Amino acid sequence: MEKMKLAIRNFRYKGVIVIVLVFMLISLILLVELYGIQFNYTTKKLDFLPEERIVTKSEACSSLKKDTLVLWNSDEPGAGDIFSQFTVIFDDMKVGRDCVDLATEKLPDFEDYTVIVLLLSDLTPVGEGIISICDWVYGGGNLYLPLTLETNPYSSVVDAKLGIVDCGESYYPVDNIYVFPDFMVGGGESFGIPDGFDSARTLQLSQDGVTVYAATSEVDGVPLIWKKVYGDGVFVAANIGVYDKAFRGFYAASYSLLTDVCVYPVINGSAFYLDDFPSQIPDGNSEYIERDYSTTIRDFYINIWWPDMMNLADKYGMKYTGLAIECYDNAVDGTINATPDTGTFLNFGNMLLRKGGEIGYHGYNHQPLCFDNCDYKGIYEYKTWESYAAMKTAFDELESFCDELFPDVEMAVYVPPSNLLSKEGREFLIKEYPQIKTLSGIYFPDAQLDFALVQEFDAAKNGVVDQPRIISGCDINDFMKIAAISELNLHFVNDHFTHPDDALDPERGAELGWETMKAKFNEFLSWLYGSAPSLRNLTGSELSAAVQRFVAVAPECETYDDKMIITLDNFYDEAQLFVRFNTKIPDTVSGGTLTHLTGDLYLLVADKQTVTVSFK
Ligand SMILES: [Zn+2]
């Protein structure tokens, strides 16, 4: 043994062998990078549900116990839109409820409900009933007033009970909202509200039994969300006066303040899409890239943008979902003329896959899947496809191109070019390419074109998941930040997309320069993951699998003095839920794990159909 050690120590070419080994290792790494070699799909974090276990949202909601009563008035201006927003909020939170339209129906018996929601700004249609509702609260009921109230004799009945000591005549401008740190995931700061207007009552609250959760500007601003204990019951009021899709999470979070404990399912996932990636890298130069780096677009993509994006992914554990596009020609007749730079496709695609990412379809070219019944109204200069057969020829080409380059990769995600997809295009994809299980459009309506793919998080019986992307780009503005905190608290989700050419386009922040854009993106990511360390990083398909479970699960809770039992209808293998302990303190958990989020709010990951939480 000693002799052998001596022989090794004295071996003259030891250094050369080390160098040869290092070179062999480098060559192996390069080969793996270039040729793919079996990637991640056997190690997917979350798989799609088997088809027989898929449950739609309406099926899941139909089994809920109806312990909430929603009173609304379809004659109120804007009532229809507000009612629609709250329908999604309550369906997604799996709030079993009866809804009564006071324009056509009388106030029903409400004694047996646990929660009443007055989805009204004018309480007149409730009439004298408001007095008995307040008595019901005093006896242990929970009343939620999400809308900014109109001041009149009926509101004055509840004002004092809500803790309002002073209310001005004028409405207060809500151009930002300060979210108290213990209230919502991501709170503890002020969020700008674009297009804010005089939408809040200018009011002051007493200190007695009142907890404020959100206010204009800072802690001492006009209260926007608060709770008031009244007898054995609770009032929760919101005074924001804005009910857009980007604010849903504020209403979900305030609803959860009502009962002893509130449980609602969430998706728990964070996905980052790279649109047009891999794709042909544009030739030539760009004004801002030239200005900041004195280099070509190609060099910028390969040596600056992509390494920076990979570094961010490493820092925060993000998994990118790239959307492949073969070329940028305008052919819509089925002619195939693409001469893709396959080396670049392979390099980018394989690096993305090796990092645990996913590749989906974007298009053969960037022409949306629309026929001549779609009118782009001059907003886009796209053509429409000449025929179904032409569309099929082009998409087949993309399919075989991706199969060739990434042979063992499941292609299960589709993102439409410019988020435009006709009804016929959607049917075409589902019929012809059954491997596609995720259609990912956008969350917020585009208003201009009715064939933009605007979605809710939803899962269909045929296995196709609607998964809207919520925010985009690196320069995260006030609207996107509001949307981000809202969605963290309604669905516990982040769904984001960016383009490699964002740094080239002044409309997406290019004038700032890539270094500033990157810093802003990093600032957003730092807020996101700092606020929600338990948010799961998922690929597009994994997030869709999470959406299927979220849509299906229907929790039923029984709360006792010493414990609560949560039974999860349609449970498959795991469920993600938010739990707010308003009057109880959790102790031990069986059937899942509880992770503290903020204040009284916890993430419950259930691994059994029945979860028991004991109280301290
Ligand atoms: Zn695109």
Question: 500 C-alpha to center of ligand 1: Å?
Answer: 10
Taking the centre of ligand 1 as the mean of its atom positions, its distance from the CA of residue 188, in whole angstroms, is 36
**How far away, in angstroms, is 478 Cα from ligand 1 center?**
24
CA of 282 to the centre of ligand 1 (A): 13
Say how many Å lie between the CA of residue 347 and the centre of ligand 1: 19
- Name the residues around ion ligand 1, CB cutoff 5 A: 275-276, 417
Residues 6+ apart with CB under 8 A from 181: 187, 188, 598, 599
* Ligand 1 mean position, distance from CA 326 (Å): 11
CA gap 372, 370 in Å, rounded: 7
Centre of ligand 1 to C-alpha 11, Å, is: 58
Q: What distance in angstroms lies between residue 588's CA and the mean position of ligand 1's atoms?
A: 48
Angle at 133 between CA 131 and CA 138, to 5 degrees: 95
Report CA(490)–ligand 1 centroid distance (Å). 28
Task: Compute, in angstroms, the gap from residue 391 CA to the centroid of ligand 1.
Answer: 17
In the prediction, which pLDDT does 200 show?
A: 95
Report how far ligand 1's centroid is from the alpha carbon of 503 (Å). 15
Contact 90, 57 (CB under 8 A): no
CB 364 within 8 A of CB 395: yes
pLDDT of residue 5: 56
C-alpha 497 – ligand 1 centre gap (Å): 10
How far does the chain reach from its first CA to its final CA, in angstroms? 63
Q: Which residues are bridge partners to 601 per DSSP?
A: 580, 598
Predicted confidence at residue 6, as pLDDT, reads 54
pLDDT at 40: 45
Please give the distance, rounded to the nearest whole angstrom, from the Cα atom of residue 365 to the centre of ligand 1. 9
**What is the Å distance from ligand 1's center to 494 Cα?**
20
> What's the CA-to-centroid distance between 418 and ligand 1, angstroms?
6
**Which CATH number is 57-259 given?**
3.40.50.880
Residue 275 Cα to ligand 1 midpoint, Å, equals 5
Estimate the crossing angle of helix 478-490 against helix 79-93, to 10 degrees.
50
CA 464 to ligand 1 centroid distance, Å: 21
Question: What pLDDT is attached to residue 16?
Answer: 65
CA atoms within 13 A on the CB side of 50: 6
pLDDT at residue 44, rounded to an integer: 85
Distance 505 CA to ligand 1 centre (A): 13
Instruction: Count CB atoms within 10 A of the CB of residue 454.
Output: 18
276 C-alpha to ligand 1 centroid (Å): 5
Q: Environment class of residue 23 by beta-carbon count within 10 Å: exposed (0-12), middle (13-18) or buried (19+)?
A: exposed
User: How many CA within 13 A on the CB side of residue 197?
Assistant: 6
Ligand 1: centre distance to CA 369 (Å): 13
For residue 459, report the distance from its CA to the centre of ligand 1, in Å. 24
CA of 324 to the centre of ligand 1 (A): 9
**What's the CA-to-centroid distance between 508 and ligand 1, angstroms?**
14
Given a cut of 50, the residues of the chain with pLDDT beneath it are: 1, 33, 35-42
Q: How far is the CA of 306 from the centre of ligand 1 (A)?
A: 17
CA of 289 to the centre of ligand 1 (A): 20
366 Cα–ligand 1 center, Å:
6
Report CA(395)–ligand 1 centroid distance (Å). Answer: 15
Distance 469 CA to ligand 1 centre (A): 13
Buried b or exposed e, range 138-168, using 16+ CB within 10 angstroms: eeebbbbbbbbbeeeebbebbbebbbbeeee
pLDDT at 472: 96
Contact 155, 126 (CB under 8 A): no
Cα–ligand 1 centroid distance for 33 (angstroms):
25
Q: What is the pLDDT of residue 516?
A: 96
pLDDT number for residue 41: 46
Q: Read off the pTM.
A: 0.93
Question: Which CATH code is given to the segment(s) 269-547?
Answer: 3.20.20.370
> Of the candidates 218, 275, 192, which has an alpha carbon nearest to the alpha carbon of residue 441?
275
Question: What does the domain layout of the chain look like in residue ranges?
Answer: 57-259, 269-547, 553-615
**616 CA from centroid of ligand 1 (Å):** 53
Task: For residue 417, report the distance from its CA to the centre of ligand 1, in Å.
Answer: 5
Instruction: Check residue 3 and give its pLDDT.
Output: 55
